[in-house]
A = this chain, B = another copy of it.
Amino acid sequence: MAAVNLKQLAKILNLSISTVSKALRDSHEIGDATKERVLAKAKEMDYTPNPFASGLRRNKSKTIAVVVPEVANNYFSLAINGIERIAQENDYHVLIYLTHEDIEKEKGIMKHLENKRVDGVLMSVTMNTNNQSHLSDFQQKGIPIIFFDRICNEIETAKITTDDYISGMNATNHLIENNCKDIAFLSLGDDISIMQKRKSGYLEELHKNNMEAPPERVIKCGNDDEMNYDLIKKLLSGKNKPDGIFASVEKLAITTYQVCRELNINIPKEVKIICFSNLETASLLSPSLSTITQPAYNIGKTAAEVMFKYLDKNKTYIPNENIVLQSTLHIRESSQQIV
Protein backbone atom coordinates (compact mmCIF):
# COMPACT_ATOMS: atom_id res chain seq x y z
CA MET A 1 0.00 0.00 0.00
CA ALA A 2 2.54 2.58 1.09
CA ALA A 3 4.78 3.54 -1.79
CA VAL A 4 8.21 1.92 -1.77
CA ASN A 5 11.15 4.27 -1.40
CA LEU A 6 14.88 4.24 -1.96
CA LYS A 7 15.66 3.19 1.57
CA GLN A 8 13.63 -0.01 1.29
CA LEU A 9 15.02 -0.77 -2.12
CA ALA A 10 18.55 -0.27 -0.86
CA LYS A 11 18.05 -2.53 2.12
CA ILE A 12 16.70 -5.36 0.01
CA LEU A 13 19.50 -5.00 -2.51
CA ASN A 14 22.10 -4.68 0.20
CA LEU A 15 23.34 -1.45 -1.28
CA SER A 16 23.50 2.10 -0.05
CA ILE A 17 20.77 4.55 -0.82
CA SER A 18 23.04 6.65 -2.95
CA THR A 19 24.15 3.71 -5.03
CA VAL A 20 20.57 2.81 -5.76
CA SER A 21 19.72 6.39 -6.57
CA LYS A 22 22.65 6.73 -8.92
CA ALA A 23 21.97 3.41 -10.55
CA LEU A 24 18.41 4.47 -11.28
CA ARG A 25 19.62 7.70 -12.80
CA ASP A 26 22.13 5.74 -14.86
CA SER A 27 25.16 7.38 -13.34
CA HIS A 28 28.59 6.46 -14.69
CA GLU A 29 29.71 5.91 -11.16
CA ILE A 30 27.82 2.65 -10.93
CA GLY A 31 28.83 -0.67 -12.46
CA ASP A 32 26.68 -2.23 -15.14
CA ALA A 33 25.93 -5.37 -13.19
CA THR A 34 24.71 -3.36 -10.23
CA LYS A 35 22.65 -1.11 -12.43
CA GLU A 36 20.83 -4.05 -13.91
CA ARG A 37 20.21 -5.57 -10.55
CA VAL A 38 18.80 -2.30 -9.24
CA LEU A 39 16.65 -1.64 -12.28
CA ALA A 40 15.18 -5.11 -12.11
CA LYS A 41 14.34 -4.86 -8.44
CA ALA A 42 12.95 -1.36 -8.85
CA LYS A 43 10.62 -2.53 -11.55
CA GLU A 44 9.67 -5.58 -9.56
CA MET A 45 8.83 -3.51 -6.51
CA ASP A 46 7.16 -0.88 -8.60
CA TYR A 47 9.38 1.90 -7.35
CA THR A 48 8.75 5.42 -8.54
CA PRO A 49 10.59 8.38 -7.04
CA ASN A 50 8.67 10.61 -4.72
CA PRO A 51 8.01 13.76 -6.72
CA PHE A 52 8.10 15.99 -3.67
CA ALA A 53 11.47 14.79 -2.55
CA SER A 54 12.90 15.13 -6.04
CA GLY A 55 11.22 18.44 -6.54
CA LEU A 56 12.59 19.75 -3.30
CA ARG A 57 16.07 18.54 -3.92
CA ARG A 58 16.37 19.47 -7.57
CA ASN A 59 14.18 22.51 -7.50
CA LYS A 60 12.20 21.22 -10.44
CA SER A 61 8.53 20.47 -10.41
CA LYS A 62 8.14 18.77 -13.77
CA THR A 63 4.91 20.69 -13.95
CA ILE A 64 3.63 23.60 -15.98
CA ALA A 65 0.55 25.65 -15.32
CA VAL A 66 -2.02 26.72 -17.86
CA VAL A 67 -3.90 29.84 -16.86
CA VAL A 68 -6.88 30.66 -19.06
CA PRO A 69 -10.17 32.50 -18.73
CA GLU A 70 -12.36 29.50 -19.43
CA VAL A 71 -12.16 25.88 -20.33
CA ALA A 72 -15.71 25.48 -21.56
CA ASN A 73 -14.69 27.29 -24.68
CA ASN A 74 -13.84 25.70 -28.00
CA TYR A 75 -10.73 27.76 -28.50
CA PHE A 76 -9.18 27.22 -25.09
CA SER A 77 -10.08 23.58 -24.83
CA LEU A 78 -8.36 22.91 -28.14
CA ALA A 79 -5.33 24.87 -27.02
CA ILE A 80 -5.19 22.89 -23.79
CA ASN A 81 -5.39 19.76 -25.85
CA GLY A 82 -2.28 20.79 -27.73
CA ILE A 83 -0.49 21.78 -24.58
CA GLU A 84 -1.29 18.57 -22.79
CA ARG A 85 -0.02 16.53 -25.68
CA ILE A 86 3.40 18.18 -25.65
CA ALA A 87 3.56 18.06 -21.89
CA GLN A 88 2.95 14.31 -21.86
CA GLU A 89 5.66 13.87 -24.46
CA ASN A 90 8.05 15.73 -22.21
CA ASP A 91 7.00 13.86 -19.10
CA TYR A 92 5.53 16.96 -17.62
CA HIS A 93 2.35 17.50 -15.70
CA VAL A 94 -0.23 20.17 -16.44
CA LEU A 95 -1.97 22.23 -13.80
CA ILE A 96 -4.99 24.15 -14.91
CA TYR A 97 -6.36 27.39 -13.52
CA LEU A 98 -9.40 29.30 -14.66
CA THR A 99 -9.70 33.03 -14.17
CA HIS A 100 -13.27 33.40 -15.39
CA GLU A 101 -12.19 36.74 -16.84
CA ASP A 102 -11.64 38.05 -13.33
CA ILE A 103 -8.37 39.90 -12.98
CA GLU A 104 -8.41 39.58 -9.21
CA LYS A 105 -8.63 35.83 -9.56
CA GLU A 106 -5.80 36.00 -12.06
CA LYS A 107 -3.66 37.86 -9.55
CA GLY A 108 -4.49 35.36 -6.84
CA ILE A 109 -3.57 32.45 -9.05
CA MET A 110 -0.23 33.97 -9.98
CA LYS A 111 0.49 34.57 -6.30
CA HIS A 112 -0.24 30.92 -5.64
CA LEU A 113 2.18 29.87 -8.33
CA GLU A 114 5.09 32.00 -7.24
CA ASN A 115 6.57 29.41 -4.93
CA LYS A 116 8.14 27.18 -7.54
CA ARG A 117 5.18 24.87 -7.72
CA VAL A 118 5.57 25.01 -11.49
CA ASP A 119 8.51 25.34 -13.82
CA GLY A 120 6.63 27.56 -16.22
CA VAL A 121 3.30 29.12 -17.04
CA LEU A 122 1.38 29.24 -20.29
CA MET A 123 -1.34 31.81 -20.20
CA SER A 124 -4.03 33.82 -21.90
CA VAL A 125 -4.91 36.84 -19.82
CA THR A 126 -8.41 37.91 -18.90
CA MET A 127 -10.31 40.42 -20.98
CA ASN A 128 -9.76 42.88 -18.15
CA THR A 129 -6.03 42.55 -17.76
CA ASN A 130 -4.98 46.12 -18.46
CA ASN A 131 -2.19 46.13 -15.93
CA GLN A 132 0.68 43.75 -15.99
CA SER A 133 2.33 44.33 -12.63
CA HIS A 134 1.27 40.98 -11.22
CA LEU A 135 2.71 39.35 -14.30
CA SER A 136 6.04 41.12 -14.25
CA ASP A 137 6.27 40.50 -10.51
CA PHE A 138 5.73 36.85 -11.22
CA GLN A 139 8.35 36.81 -13.93
CA GLN A 140 10.78 38.40 -11.50
CA LYS A 141 10.55 35.31 -9.34
CA GLY A 142 12.37 33.45 -12.06
CA ILE A 143 9.49 31.46 -13.47
CA PRO A 144 9.02 31.81 -17.21
CA ILE A 145 5.66 32.80 -18.69
CA ILE A 146 4.64 32.34 -22.27
CA PHE A 147 1.52 33.97 -23.61
CA PHE A 148 -0.79 32.64 -26.23
CA ASP A 149 -3.61 34.46 -27.95
CA ARG A 150 -4.44 36.92 -25.20
CA ILE A 151 -0.94 38.21 -24.78
CA CYS A 152 0.50 40.94 -22.65
CA ASN A 153 2.75 43.10 -24.79
CA GLU A 154 4.54 44.78 -21.92
CA ILE A 155 6.05 41.53 -20.71
CA GLU A 156 9.20 40.39 -22.43
CA THR A 157 8.80 36.76 -23.41
CA ALA A 158 7.58 34.53 -26.22
CA LYS A 159 4.09 35.18 -27.48
CA ILE A 160 2.05 32.94 -29.72
CA THR A 161 -0.72 34.68 -31.60
CA THR A 162 -2.57 34.60 -34.85
CA ASP A 163 -2.61 37.25 -37.53
CA ASP A 164 -5.44 39.10 -35.85
CA TYR A 165 -4.98 42.40 -37.60
CA ILE A 166 -4.99 40.84 -41.05
CA SER A 167 -7.88 38.59 -40.10
CA GLY A 168 -9.79 41.61 -38.88
CA MET A 169 -9.23 43.28 -42.21
CA ASN A 170 -10.12 40.18 -44.18
CA ALA A 171 -13.32 39.57 -42.29
CA THR A 172 -14.37 43.19 -42.68
CA ASN A 173 -13.41 43.21 -46.32
CA HIS A 174 -15.45 40.10 -46.87
CA LEU A 175 -18.51 41.76 -45.39
CA ILE A 176 -17.95 44.82 -47.54
CA GLU A 177 -17.64 42.70 -50.64
CA ASN A 178 -20.93 41.17 -49.73
CA ASN A 179 -22.48 44.54 -49.89
CA CYS A 180 -22.54 45.53 -46.24
CA LYS A 181 -22.72 49.28 -45.84
CA ASP A 182 -22.85 49.58 -42.09
CA ILE A 183 -20.74 47.13 -40.15
CA ALA A 184 -20.64 46.84 -36.37
CA PHE A 185 -17.82 45.34 -34.38
CA LEU A 186 -18.55 43.35 -31.23
CA SER A 187 -15.58 43.64 -28.92
CA LEU A 188 -14.86 41.70 -25.77
CA GLY A 189 -13.79 44.53 -23.54
CA ASP A 190 -11.20 46.74 -25.15
CA ASP A 191 -8.21 46.37 -22.92
CA ILE A 192 -6.36 43.49 -24.40
CA SER A 193 -4.04 43.51 -27.34
CA ILE A 194 -5.90 40.93 -29.36
CA MET A 195 -9.04 43.07 -29.32
CA GLN A 196 -7.11 46.16 -30.32
CA LYS A 197 -5.68 44.31 -33.27
CA ARG A 198 -8.93 42.85 -34.45
CA LYS A 199 -10.60 46.21 -34.08
CA SER A 200 -7.76 47.98 -35.85
CA GLY A 201 -8.08 45.61 -38.75
CA TYR A 202 -11.78 46.35 -38.86
CA LEU A 203 -11.30 50.12 -38.66
CA GLU A 204 -8.51 50.12 -41.19
CA GLU A 205 -10.51 48.18 -43.70
CA LEU A 206 -13.46 50.50 -43.26
CA HIS A 207 -11.12 53.42 -43.76
CA LYS A 208 -9.67 51.97 -46.93
CA ASN A 209 -13.18 51.74 -48.28
CA ASN A 210 -14.24 55.15 -47.10
CA MET A 211 -16.76 53.61 -44.80
CA GLU A 212 -15.67 54.99 -41.44
CA ALA A 213 -18.20 53.97 -38.84
CA PRO A 214 -19.33 56.11 -35.95
CA PRO A 215 -17.85 55.07 -32.59
CA GLU A 216 -21.12 53.56 -31.44
CA ARG A 217 -20.69 50.86 -34.04
CA VAL A 218 -18.04 49.37 -31.82
CA ILE A 219 -19.90 47.58 -29.07
CA LYS A 220 -17.92 46.86 -25.96
CA CYS A 221 -19.32 43.60 -24.66
CA GLY A 222 -18.21 41.84 -21.53
CA ASN A 223 -18.31 38.63 -19.58
CA ASP A 224 -21.98 38.82 -18.64
CA ASP A 225 -24.01 37.00 -21.27
CA GLU A 226 -27.26 38.70 -20.36
CA MET A 227 -25.76 42.14 -20.62
CA ASN A 228 -24.27 41.19 -23.95
CA TYR A 229 -27.66 39.99 -25.08
CA ASP A 230 -29.19 43.33 -24.17
CA LEU A 231 -26.41 45.30 -25.85
CA ILE A 232 -26.77 43.35 -29.05
CA LYS A 233 -30.53 43.49 -28.89
CA LYS A 234 -30.34 47.24 -28.59
CA LEU A 235 -27.96 47.35 -31.53
CA LEU A 236 -30.31 45.36 -33.70
CA SER A 237 -33.55 46.99 -32.64
CA GLY A 238 -35.05 49.93 -34.47
CA LYS A 239 -34.40 50.96 -38.02
CA ASN A 240 -30.89 52.26 -37.60
CA LYS A 241 -29.44 48.78 -37.32
CA PRO A 242 -26.23 47.67 -39.01
CA ASP A 243 -26.31 45.32 -41.98
CA GLY A 244 -23.09 43.55 -41.00
CA ILE A 245 -21.70 42.29 -37.73
CA PHE A 246 -18.17 41.26 -37.04
CA ALA A 247 -17.99 39.44 -33.72
CA SER A 248 -14.56 39.29 -32.16
CA VAL A 249 -15.30 36.09 -30.30
CA GLU A 250 -17.52 33.11 -30.83
CA LYS A 251 -19.87 33.59 -27.95
CA LEU A 252 -20.88 37.03 -29.14
CA ALA A 253 -21.84 35.58 -32.50
CA ILE A 254 -23.92 32.94 -30.77
CA THR A 255 -25.66 35.62 -28.76
CA THR A 256 -26.23 37.56 -31.96
CA TYR A 257 -27.89 34.52 -33.51
CA GLN A 258 -30.14 34.27 -30.50
CA VAL A 259 -31.05 37.94 -30.65
CA CYS A 260 -31.80 37.70 -34.34
CA ARG A 261 -34.02 34.77 -33.67
CA GLU A 262 -35.95 36.71 -31.06
CA LEU A 263 -36.22 39.83 -33.16
CA ASN A 264 -37.04 37.84 -36.25
CA ILE A 265 -34.13 39.27 -38.13
CA ASN A 266 -33.03 37.23 -41.11
CA ILE A 267 -29.39 36.28 -41.38
CA PRO A 268 -27.84 36.98 -43.85
CA LYS A 269 -30.59 38.89 -45.63
CA GLU A 270 -30.98 41.68 -43.12
CA VAL A 271 -27.71 41.36 -41.31
CA LYS A 272 -24.58 39.44 -42.23
CA ILE A 273 -22.39 37.89 -39.55
CA ILE A 274 -18.84 36.69 -39.33
CA CYS A 275 -16.80 35.90 -36.26
CA PHE A 276 -13.68 34.42 -34.79
CA SER A 277 -14.62 30.90 -33.83
CA ASN A 278 -13.55 27.33 -33.35
CA LEU A 279 -17.08 26.03 -33.32
CA GLU A 280 -17.18 22.54 -34.75
CA THR A 281 -20.79 22.89 -35.68
CA ALA A 282 -20.43 26.21 -37.50
CA SER A 283 -21.40 24.63 -40.78
CA LEU A 284 -24.49 23.03 -39.26
CA LEU A 285 -25.97 26.19 -37.84
CA SER A 286 -28.95 27.87 -39.38
CA PRO A 287 -27.64 29.66 -41.30
CA SER A 288 -24.18 28.20 -41.34
CA LEU A 289 -21.76 30.54 -39.67
CA SER A 290 -18.86 32.20 -41.43
CA THR A 291 -15.80 32.11 -39.25
CA ILE A 292 -12.22 33.10 -38.91
CA THR A 293 -10.84 29.95 -37.38
CA GLN A 294 -7.67 30.01 -35.37
CA PRO A 295 -5.34 27.00 -35.29
CA ALA A 296 -6.10 26.57 -31.60
CA TYR A 297 -4.55 23.16 -31.15
CA ASN A 298 -1.34 24.26 -32.83
CA ILE A 299 -1.22 27.46 -30.85
CA GLY A 300 -1.28 25.48 -27.62
CA LYS A 301 1.17 22.98 -29.00
CA THR A 302 3.56 25.70 -30.12
CA ALA A 303 3.36 27.54 -26.83
CA ALA A 304 4.25 24.35 -25.00
CA GLU A 305 7.04 23.51 -27.41
CA VAL A 306 8.65 26.89 -26.96
CA MET A 307 8.36 26.54 -23.20
CA PHE A 308 10.07 23.16 -23.20
CA LYS A 309 12.77 24.41 -25.53
CA TYR A 310 13.82 26.75 -22.73
CA LEU A 311 13.07 24.47 -19.79
CA ASP A 312 15.22 21.75 -21.31
CA LYS A 313 18.13 24.12 -21.31
CA ASN A 314 17.32 25.26 -17.80
CA LYS A 315 16.79 28.75 -19.09
CA THR A 316 14.23 30.69 -17.12
CA TYR A 317 14.66 33.78 -19.23
CA ILE A 318 12.74 33.76 -22.48
CA PRO A 319 13.57 36.58 -24.86
CA ASN A 320 10.92 38.44 -26.77
CA GLU A 321 9.65 36.49 -29.71
CA ASN A 322 6.44 36.81 -31.63
CA ILE A 323 5.24 33.65 -33.24
CA VAL A 324 2.31 34.27 -35.51
CA LEU A 325 0.20 31.46 -36.86
CA GLN A 326 -2.37 31.97 -39.55
CA SER A 327 -6.07 31.82 -39.12
CA THR A 328 -8.28 30.66 -41.94
CA LEU A 329 -11.38 32.29 -43.24
CA HIS A 330 -14.34 29.99 -43.69
CA ILE A 331 -17.04 31.64 -45.69
CA ARG A 332 -20.45 30.18 -45.08
CA GLU A 333 -24.01 31.38 -45.41
CA SER A 334 -24.21 33.85 -42.57
CA SER A 335 -22.06 36.42 -44.31
CA GLN A 336 -22.96 35.98 -47.94
CA GLN A 337 -25.17 38.03 -50.10
CA ILE A 338 -28.03 36.03 -51.49
CA VAL A 339 -27.94 36.18 -55.27
Q: Which residues of A contact B (CB under 8 A)?
A: 1-3, 46, 48-53, 55-56, 61, 63, 70-74, 77-78, 80-81, 84-85, 88, 93-98, 111-112, 114-117, 140-142, 254, 257-258, 261, 279-281, 284-288
Whether the pair A84, B96 counts as a contact (CB closer than 8 A) is yes
Whether the pair B1, A141 counts as a contact (CB closer than 8 A) is yes
Expressed in whole angstroms, the Cα–Cα distance for A55 and B52 within the complex equals 6
Given A77-B77, A96-B80, A285-B284; A2-B254 close (CB under 8 Å): no
Contacts of A97 in B (CB 8 A): 84, 88, 94
Contacts of A116 in B (CB 8 A): 3, 50-52
Whether the pair A96, B98 counts as a contact (CB closer than 8 A) is no
Contacts of A77 in B (CB 8 A): 71-73, 77
Q: Which residue of B lies closest to A116 (CB)?
A: B3
Whether the pair A56, B48 counts as a contact (CB closer than 8 A) is no
Contacts of A52 in B (CB 8 A): 52-53, 55-56, 61, 116-117
Contacts of A3 in B (CB 8 A): 114-116, 141
Contacts of A73 in B (CB 8 A): 77
The one of B50, B56, B74, B257 that contacts A284, using a Cβ cutoff of 8 Å: B257
Expressed in whole angstroms, the Cα–Cα distance for A96 and B77 within the complex equals 12
CB distance from A183 to the nearest CB of B (A): 22
The one of B2, B74, B140, B284 that contacts A142, using a Cβ cutoff of 8 Å: B2
Contacts of A85 in B (CB 8 A): 98
